[in-house]
Amino acid sequence: MAPIRILVVDDSVVIRKLLSETLSADPELEVVGSASDGRIGLAKIAQLHPDLVTLDIEMPVLNGLETLAEVRKLYPKLPVIMFSTLTERGASATLDALSLGASDYATKPSNTGSPAGAIAAIRAELIPKIKALCAGAVTKLKSLPPPRPPMQVRRPVNRRIEIVAIGTSTGGPNALAEVLPRIPKDFPLPIVVVQHMPPIFTHLLAERLGARSEISVEEGSADAVLTSGHAWIAPGNFHMTVRRAGVSSRLGLNQDRPENSCRPSVDVLFRSVADVYGANVLGVVMTGMGSDGVIGARCIRERGGEIIIQDEASSVVWGMPGLVHASGQADAVFPLNQLAQEIARRVSQSRAPRVTPAQVDRVPQEHLAK
């Protein structure tokens, strides 16, 4: 199988050298060229036909956002990973890039203490994203186990959804921007979200989603009381959990070990909502790389809750939802543009008044005839 061909666009000589050497050391990858600014980068895309581009944000002549806009006009399907600094300015620009069509992002190594640390950081974060984004449809399908029939779940007759829990990763910021703004203002439940992102990013993401949504959206904070019509996004580098506190539920944050190499982890959040709410949970797994959420989805369904997932066609990477599907933990699959409507429908249906057999027996027969 031919290696994945990569073009590195960055104004730093040091970063171009570091990326080129580190990526090329992997036998499945090949850096076919580099460029010091966006204009040169665009010319090299036309010349070299790479499979993927890594793109710096702050560059002379044509910066990363300007370059990305041109790339999307000329090469709408070409995967682009933004390579940005872990600062508020870098995070804000990265979110801008994702909204313009960047496939994903990786943060530049900082405070690693040595070149070896920087190389390890690139191998851990960037290389898996490159391989996930460049896997062809056949490769992706072969990499997933064959789907099992959905696991049979015993759900209480009077089950009533009391919380919605969402997990997502690669492609998640845009997916959340499609779902949360479509949730109605009078939504009767709290929503808790894990989006794999580092610190700073999650705070800015919550602010942006809140500005576009009818419900309130904010970054999760310790001891926040869960209320209806409100969504909380787990802060970067913290697991977010839910716990009972008297008659209310509150958020908890911790820095326990990462799970599935993630902190925050979808599994951690899903397990906690299953423990607290039992069968009264609707879990949603959207686009993302890796397996985070599979164990948590099973916990929700074993307690009698529901899991719905985003379909492959609308996912940037169908890793997380695909593995939930393959493990038999998905009740249903929907395209991204139908998820908000389906969440609202299932919540409304679960909370509608139900007529029990005893109530039917008490209704006069002439009313039943009508």
Which residue among the candidates 10, 292, 311, 331 is catalytic per the annotation? 292
Torsion angle defined by CA atoms of residues 108, 110, 114 and 120, in that order, rounded to the nearest 10 degrees:
-50
Active site residue 367: no
Q: How many CA atoms lie within 13 A of 236 on its CB side?
A: 16
Active site residue 203: no
Which residue among the candidates 196, 230, 239, 325 is catalytic per the annotation? 196
CA 183 and chain centroid, separation: 17
Which residue among the candidates 169, 213, 265, 350 is catalytic per the annotation? 169
Torsion-angle region of 293 (φ positive above 0: left; ψ -120 to 50: alpha; else: beta): left
Q: How many CA atoms lie within 13 A of 212 on its CB side?
A: 15
Lookup: tokens for 195: 């989006």
CA neighbor of 164 nearest in space, from 332, 346, 353? 346
Active site residue 196: yes
Residue pair 45/53 in contact (Cβ under 8 Å)? The answer is yes
CA 259 and chain centroid, separation: 15
Which long-range contacts link 335-340 to residues 24+ away (Cβ below 8 Å)? 335/310, 335/311, 336/175, 336/178, 336/179, 336/286, 336/287, 336/310, 336/311, 337/178, 339/178, 339/179, 339/284, 339/286, 339/308, 339/310, 340/178, 340/179, 340/180, 340/182, 340/183
Catalytic residues: 169, 196, 292
